[in-house]
Structure 1
Amino acid sequence: MGLTVSVVVITYARPDYVRTCLEHLARLGRAPLEILVVDASPDDRTASLLREEFPAVRLLRNDLGRGTMPESRQIGLAAAAGDVVAFIDDDAYVEPDWLDELLAPYDDGTVVGVGGRASNGIEGEESEGLAEIGRFLPDGRLTGNFGADPGRVIDVDHLLGANMSFRRSALEAVGGIRGNYPGTCVCEESDVSLRLTAAGGRLVFAPRALVRHVAAPYQTGGKRFDRRYLYYLRRNHVVLLARNFGWRDPRLPRYARVVTREQSTYLWAFRSRLGPTMADGSRRSLLRRITSPVVLTRSVAELGGLAAGVPAAWAARRRDRAEGIATP
């Protein structure tokens, strides 16, 4: 008898995307044991959708509201019955053979997590960053490149939240999925990935386990890669490093130095916009020159997030200890 799978879809105020996501799941060549939708929405549109169109799908509530994707994943994990728990976002649409491809690497008992490829519809993404898919670098940074296709299953250090799966027993053994990664909720999938590899498990990337990631508009405030995103990207990354490796680990100061050096790109952009002419020789408008300092606010967001990560990490580590989770 093969492994059973619980598919967990997390969502916030995007019922139309949930509908399309569930329609694709219904076309799977291999059916999962169950599908669970964890809804943190402030309204009942998603609940009504499931009740009227997908009665076999189990609805779970996350009453914490927006910006709590890690908590939604944990709610799904706690309710799941499958041997493997597969997580996808509501804007990730699976291919018919997705589940078969996702499960195949689990034939190796050392594999505790399998992630799949997320196609974003970007030209050339299948060959972008092939040598650095899902890596944890010595300077504390994490690489993505989950749209790349290496043509084979490869080992990775972390997985993409929009298309990832884990053995339920392995997740439970490390204490499940930790919260305290708020805002745009970056880093929570990397947190659990790093904890699993630290416990001796293997994570692999199976490119043929494909989802079409349509990148739905944020319903939790802001836009993709805006200043709010940049703030939480840096804040949550500091929390990630401090929680998993401690304050004395050299990757934490290395990461801070890398982020600080990267701010020079904003300074260069600011200076270039002050000039009277564009790169093609045309005149730059006075309004554009006057508003050029706006670009520096992105640097303020990143450095602010980096600084805010320190007290946030102290609080997260203190909460982990209170909950009986060992901290380095």
Structure 2
Amino acid sequence: MSDRPAPPRFSVVICVYTEERWGDILAAVDSVRKQSPAPLETLLVVDHNERLLDRLTEEYADARRDGEVRVLANAGPRGLSAGRNTGIAAARGDVVAFLDDDAVAEHDWLHHFAAGYTDPAVVAVGGRTLPAWASGRRPVWFPEEFDWVVGCTYRGLPPGRVRVRNVLGGNASFRRSAFDAAGGFATGIGRDGDRRPLGCEETELCIRLANAVPGAVLLIDDRAVIHHKVPAVRERFAYFRTRVYAEGLSKALVAQSVGAGKGLESERRYTSRVLPAGVLRGVRDALLGRPGGAGRAGAIVTGVALAAAGYALGTLRARRGRSPAFSWGPITPEGVPRETGAPEKKGAAA
């Protein structure tokens, strides 16, 4: 008799909010349905858009009857975090995986996730996210060190299957039991449609999870690949500036919740080693007459300055009690996290 654990059953959650991504949504679902092994179910969570909810319900009527694709309304406040919590609450699988609505997964995406869970200490496994630029190629000024700006894996993350502080939310999976231990995604941090692109909800959750589960292991396996669309507007420097500034604001919220020590642990290495090396590469390329070298070096310096400014402002707001209220709590049957006026700190670092 084998002592190997049975392979996990996956529930894949895709949060959607706009009909403008109709074709992308269908492609994302199709990529999940073609996985080997096949998931137990795909959950489409619609963020307060009745027309899109009705349209998707009709589109997947047959798949819904089989339980293969389920279409749900976000049962919480508007935004990505509550949408994910709705999916978690409804999930029937042992592992809940998340895929962005404008991304497609390679056919063995879940296979590589599943391999990570052979170790019972592993509570989360993330993957590698590659950009699919609308223009067909990376803008010459856009540094790979900042690919997180467009929701993709960035230069500086270690290759292979490695232990990490946090996974990236658009290409990630968690044991269902992890949410019982740590609660759901914090509302008030994550994205809300096309509004200011605040983020870091998965960072906050992963740190909270590591604190709540002694010995918890979180992995990234770069063989679990998805391809994430980058629309033309996000190839522009104006979006870059907005996004990195918002990241600073978000990091201040994370530090408020879990403490600056854990909240900025990975960022210190990134800013002290990865980014200076990127600037040097850009300067070298500029001196050698290679296109984009000066632009990449300048973008890195600008990105650091704007993120620092956002963090400083976010920290000041927190000290004055003016930061956005956000909360997390246990996943209820309705998929709504417990709401309070300020972030809870159960299981968080002081």
TM over 0.5: yes
- TM-score normalised to structure 1 length: 0.69
Residues 153 and 205 of structure 1 are in contact (CA less than 8 Å); yes or no, is this contact kept in structure 2? yes
Identify if the C-alpha distance between structure 1 residues 250 and 38 changes in structure 2 by more than 3 Å, giving closer, same or farther: closer
The question of whether the paired residues in 1 share the 8 Å contact of 2:130 and 2:153 is answered with: no
Write the mapping of 1:119-130 to structure 2, written as runs, cut at 5 A. 119-121=130-132
Per-residue deviation, 1:6: 0.5
Aligned partner (choices 10, 15, 27) of residue 10 of structure 1: 15
Aligned residue number for residue 300 of structure 2:
none
CA RMSD in angstroms, aligned pairs only: 4.0
User: Contact 2:47–2:74 (CA<8 Å) still a contact in 1?
Assistant: yes
Counterpart for residue 72 of structure 1: 83
Deviations 1:113-133 (A, max 9, x none): 00010011466xxxx66xxx9
CA 1:95 to 1:312, structure 2 compared with 1: closer, same or farther past 3 Å?
farther
Q: Hey, what's the Cα distance between the residues in 2 that align with 1:235 and 1:22?
A: 32
Per-residue deviation at 1:45?
2.6
Distance 1:105 1:250 in 2: 25
Among 47, 62, 73, the alignment partner of 1:40 is: 47
| Correspondence 1:278-297 to 2 at 5 A | none
Q: Supply the AA of the counterpart residue of 2:201.
A: E
> Structure 1 stretch 82-91 or stretch 14-23: which is displaced more?
14-23
Which residue matches 2:336? none
**2:195 is the counterpart of 1:181:** no
SS across alignment from 1:17: helix
CA distance in 1, matches of 2:263, 2:57: 48
Shift of 1:149: 8.2
The answer to whether the Cα contact below 8 Å between 1:120 and 1:215 also exists between their aligned partners in 2 is: yes
> 1:305–1:151: structure 2 CA closer, same or farther, 3 Å change rule?
closer
Match of 2:169 in 1: 161
CA shift digits 1:195-249 (9 cap, x unpaired): 1222331101111111011135789xxx74343x344322221111121127x98
Letter in 1 for 2:44: V
The residue number in structure 2 matching 1:319 is 340
Following superposition of structure 1 onto structure 2, how do residues 70-149 of structure 1 map, counting pairs within 5 Å?
70-121=81-132, 145-146=153-154
The correspondence for 1:244, drawn from 258, 263, 266, is: 258
Are 1:21 and 2:34 counterparts? no
TM-score normalised by structure 2 residue count: 0.65
Structure 2 portions without partners, runs of 5+: 1-5, 139-143, 191-195, 276-302, 328-338
Contact 1:5–1:33 (8 Å) recurs in 2: yes
CA deviation digits over 1:48-91, x for unaligned, max 9? Answer: 1342246431111126665x111111111111111100011101
Q: What is the aligned residue count?
A: 270
Measure, in 1, the Cα distance between the counterparts of 2:233 and 2:49: 14
Q: Is this contact kept in 1: 2:314–2:323, CA < 8 A?
A: no
Distance 2:125 2:53 in 1: 28
Is the Cα contact below 8 Å between 1:235 and 1:309 reproduced in 2? no
Deviation at 1:12, TM superposition (A): 1.4
Matches within 5 A, 1:222-241: 224-227=239-242, 229-241=243-255
CA distance in 1, matches of 2:230, 2:105: 14
Contact 2:46–2:52 (CA under 8 A) maintained in structure 1: no
- Choose which of 205, 228, 241 in structure 2 pairs with 1:213: 228
Give yes or no for contact 1:159–1:193 (8 Å, CA) kept in 2: yes
Q: Pick from 9, 15, 30 the counterpart of residue 37 of structure 2.
A: 30
Residue identity (%):
28
Distance 1:304 1:251 in 2: 16
| C-alpha contact 2:182 2:347 (8 A) present in aligned 1 | no
Distance 1:4 1:250 in 2: 31
